[in-house]
Structure 1
Amino acid sequence: MRISTPQFYASSSANYERTFGNVNKTQQEASDFIRVRTAADDPVGYARLLQLEQQQNMLDQFKGNITNVRNALGSSESTLNAIGAVLQRVNELAMGSGNASFTDADRKANASELASLEDQLFSLMNSRDENGKYLFSGSKGDTPPYVRNSDGTYSYQGDQSQLMLQVGDMLSLAANETGYSAFEQALNTSRSETKQTAPLPDDGRVSLSNGQVSGSATYNDRFRSGEPYSIEFTSSTEYKILDAGGNDVTLEASQGGKFDPKGDNISINFRGVDLRLKIDFKPGDEGNPDAAIAGHTFSLSSKADSISGTRSPGNTSSEQVTDAKITDPTAYKAAFPGGGAVLKFTSATDFELYAAPMTADSRPISSGTLSGNTATAAGVSFELSGPPSAGDSFGVKVDTHQNQNILNTIGQLRGALNTPQDHDPAARQAFLASLDSAIGNIASATNQVSSSISAIGGRGQALDVQAETNEALGIENTKTQGSIRDSDIGEVMMRLEMQKNQLTASMQSFAKISSLSLVNYI
């Protein structure tokens, strides 16, 4: 086969360039020992490297999220610990205020310290993080979680949303603790009440306090199913309790319905509810004490829900809801939204009631027309200060008395401590009942704060475990990428030496062959 001179030069040049390119590539590989730079180097390996790099990027993101969650939870935990310390002092003051030797001046001194602690708690519960966001407002970080109302009570303005951050392939954790879970879910021990039904007016001989819930499970399972109850004193040493169906349930009360009328602190426990009983005989009762006490009757039941309405800021008129009360319990239980409502006027006289929050596609659950200045919807009557304007709306809140935040508990305790009671047995009895309520609610609030701290601790442990898992995955990811991308040092050096020899041989053969000529053989 004949090879022309141009073919020879072209073939030799291509071979030289290929060999020279291989040498350059191998020299670069020998300098950093990276085998796969582009998809052309190893299509399958390159695709796997892309997957591993994506995983590494996710692990880096998880690491940043873990740091953010840790910082956020650390701020919440330290604030909750500070709140717990304040609550401990509040509890000490409450317990000490029951001292029989305390005077009105002593109790007022405690009330003054409680006011300072209340302000301190209010500030702590409205704490902000390093970014200026409120810690306990849920997703409403720019809204203070608690506001002080004009009547001295406190309202929660945040929501129940937890800010979730992904910290692992299958794990997302909340970076915040809401005020709703930390403070609003504290059980209210003062959820039941007594009313004297006979004799009327009250002759002052029998004083029976509102009930304090001592066992929530028993209260929910047993007490609620039989209310309202009637407690009738049959003598100066016995009483009987009838449930709503007229059944005698006295044996479920402490000591089976018996008591010592001479006791200074008579306690009755019935179906998870504790009541204080005080007997005050009047002059002349000594001859027949049973007749003096028999016939005193009280009703005992859970506190009825209370309704309140507030004017919306965008209203045209300045009218307010001056009173709201349940007028039809059956309709209320059947239709009124427990999470709150919005009363909106479509005209100066016509109104509609919506479940809160009201959205563009919300449908009214009730409607009607004003009767004077009264709007009645879903069993609740709202009394307005005057005729509203079309488009006015009013926010409606429902208090079921199941929960109570600690700020309101302290406020109520301050009121009880500031009420004079020296030389007034009835006022003293009312104070002791209020003190029982406060101590129970303080304990409930403390437990709720402790539960939130425990929840944060549990999330912290989960973060530690996930951080270790992510670190292990990152190490394996780096090893796997290295096994695909990196070169074998020995193999690269041998290949480089061989390619250099090939390049030298190619150059020598080109020089040798190019010197050949037919003239030399003529």
Structure 2
Amino acid sequence: MRISTQTFYDRSLNSLQSQQTALSRLGMQVGTQTRVMTASDDPIAAIRALGIGKSLSVNAQFAASRTQANQSLGLSDNVLGNVASTTHKIKELLVQAGDNALSDVDRAAIATQLESQMDQLMGLANTRDGNGQYLYAGFKSASPPFIKQADGSVSYVGDQGERLMQVDAARQMAANDNGRSIFQSVQANAKYIGSTPASNTGSAMFKGTSVVNANDPNFGKDFDITFLAGEYKVMTKDTPPVVIATGPYKDGGTITFGGMQMAVTGTPVDGDVIHVTTAKNAGTDMFSALSDVISALRQPASGGGSPAFAKINNALSTANVKFSNALDNVLTVATSVGARMAELDMLDEGGEDRRVSEEGSLENLVGLDMIGAISQLERQKMAMQATMLTIMKVQSLSLMDYVK
């Protein structure tokens, strides 16, 4: 059978093109280290690889969200630590101010120190994150959440929103806490707070409350202790009020009511009142509590036993309990932040395990045997070179090569 020159050239060209395509495909496989370049290479593996790829992409997005949440919570953890330290310092100054040997000038100096602590607390409450957003403003993160008014009071102008982040397939997590929950809240088990109104004219001073029977039917209510004609009367603030305890007043004695007891010293005047209120009803704003005690410390007192001196000591007793409750609340929020950070670490570990497993599955599906592929690539190169040499050799032949 004769093969024409044109047929030989056509077949040689087709063979060369086929080998070139195979060589190019092998080169791409080696370059990408992937066996399945198109769905036609292995339809089943390609479909399964597509699903795993999407899963890896989602897992990577969750990991990015966890990183962002961890950064925000880490900043909050540091700030709350500073808030707790500042609150400790405030409590130390309140205890110092309760020294009966202090003069009006000494108490005014402590008031100045408390003002400095208030400014520091304000700065912490208006902390910004790395993006310039206010950390404790809720959803209103573009503006400061705490504003000092012209009268010196501090107002919270943020909201109670929580920026939720999807940190895993079935877990949304708050990456922030709003300022009200930190600086204007107390825990459910916070201590009762005693206080006296400005209308009191006697020198009676209270020493805080202690719980003796939390199962008392009146425990958890608000009370007023009223003094009249050497007697005391304890009434609930129900509507109408209910008298739950009465008795003769004794300087330095203890008044028991509603599952609690309170020590009272000094001489009350008829009509004087001591309010005993649950923490949530007594005012939970740290800035307001600090402002009230600063104002009290700047008032002159004529000495022990005077009504003015009693007002200062009662204001200090009120502030002491309020800041004990505030510190407990700050530490509780800090514990919550720490728990969320620990959960993110566990989710990171789980996410990393999934990534490693899915990448292993993907490698099994579309991964390339590099040693075998490189060997095949070299063989293909040699075959192509042989084909090219053959074509060149045939092209150079002529009838004269066979004439002797």
Does 2:267 align with 1:280? yes
Query: Which AA in structure 1 matches 2:244?
Result: V
| Offset, 1:490 | 5.8
The 1:194/1:456 distance shift into structure 2, 3 A limit, reads closer
Identify which of 419, 422, 429 aligns with 2:302: 422
The residue number in structure 2 matching 1:79 is 79
Report how far residue 499 of structure 1 moved: 7.1
Contact 2:244 2:257 in 1 (8 A): no
Question: What is the aligned partner in structure 1 of residue 399 from structure 2?
Answer: none
Equivalence map 1:1-16=2 (5 Å): none
Relative to its length, the structure with more helix (as a share) is 2
Q: How does 1:459-498 map to 2 (within 5 A)?
A: 459-489=340-370, 492=373
Distance 1:181 1:246 in 2: 32
Q: Which of 405, 413, 416 matches 2:285? A: 405
CA distance in 2, matches of 1:144, 1:481: 49
Alpha-carbon distance in structure 2 between the residues aligned to 1:6 and 1:220 = 114
**TM-score (norm: length of structure 2):** 0.77
> 2:223–2:277: 8 Å Cα contact kept in structure 1?
no
What secondary structure sits across from 1:173 in the alignment? strand
Q: Which residue of 1 aligns with 2:329?
A: 448
Q: What is the match of residue 167 of structure 1? A: 167
CA–CA distance in 2 between the matches of 1:402 and 1:43?
Answer: 71
- What is the identity percentage for the equivalent residue pairs of Structure 1 and Structure 2? 23
Counterpart selection for 2:313 from 427, 432, 449: 432
Per the TM alignment, residue 276 of structure 1 is displaced from its structure 2 partner at its CA by 5.5
Q: Distance in 2 between matches of 1:148 and 1:461?
A: 36
Query: Is 2:128 the counterpart of 1:124?
Result: no
Q: How does 1:128-139 map to 2 (within 5 A)?
A: 128-139=128-139
460-469 vs 24-33, which deviates more?
A: 24-33
Say whether the 8 Å CA contact 1:276–1:433 is kept in structure 2: no
Distance 1:261 1:74 in 2: 53
In the alignment, the residues of structure 2 paired with residue 221 and residue 402 of structure 1 have an alpha-carbon distance, to the nearest angstrom, of: 21
Contact map agreement 1:156 1:180 (CA 8 A) in 2: yes
Measure how far apart 1:271 and its partner are: 2.6
Counting only pairs closer than 5 Å after superposition, residues 77-226 of structure 1 correspond to structure 2 as 77-186=77-186, 207=204, 218=214, 222-223=218-219
Cα deviation, 1:2-51, whole Å, max 9, x if unaligned, reads 99989987788767755664455345545654211111212222222222
Q: How many residues are treated as equivalent by the alignment?
A: 385
Question: Which amino acid is 2:218 matched to?
Answer: R
Aligned partners of 1:30, 1:43: CA distance in 2, in Å? 20
> How has the CA–CA distance of structure 1 residues 25 and 124 changed in structure 2, closer, same or farther, with 3 Å as cutoff?
closer
Q: CA deviation at 1:147?
A: 0.9
- What is the letter of the counterpart of residue 299 of structure 2? T
| CA spacing shift, 1:205–1:500, aligned 2, 3 Å | closer
* Paired residue secondary structure (1:249): strand
Counterpart secondary structure, 2:86:
helix
Relative to structure 1, the CA distance from residue 21 to residue 277 in structure 2 (aligned partners, 3 Å threshold; closer, same or farther) is closer
Instruction: Give secondary structure in 2 for the equivalent of 1:222.
Output: coil
Helix, strand or coil at the partner of 1:144 = coil
Kindly state the Cα deviation for residue 66 of structure 1 after the two structures are TM-superposed: 2.6
Pairwise CA distance, 1:90:
1.0
SS of 2:76's equivalent?
Answer: helix
Cα shift at 1:208: 6.9
- How far apart are the structure 2 equivalents of 1:261 and 1:496? 104
Query: Which structure exhibits the higher relative contact order, with contacts defined as CA atoms closer than 8 Å and separated by 6 or more residues?
Result: 2
**C-alpha distance in 2, partners of 1:406/1:172?**
30
- Distance in 1, matches of 2:78 and 2:314, equals 34
Which aligned pairs between 1:199-278 and structure 2 lie closer than 5 A?
Answer: 207=204, 218=214, 222-223=218-219, 231=226, 239=232, 241=234, 249-250=244-245, 261-263=250-252, 266-271=253-258, 275=262, 277-278=264-265
| The structure with more strand, counted as a fraction of residues | 1
Could you tell me whether the CA contact under 8 Å between 1:208 and 1:275 is conserved in 2? no
Mapped to 2, the partners of 1:465 and 1:104 lie a distance apart of 56
RMSD: 4.4
Amino acid at match of 1:280: T
Question: Deviation of residue 228 (structure 1)?
Answer: 6.3
- C-alpha spacing 1:91/1:24, structure 2 compared with 1 (3 Å): closer
Query: TM-score, normalised to structure 1's length?
Result: 0.61
The secondary structure found in structure 2 opposite 1:459 is helix
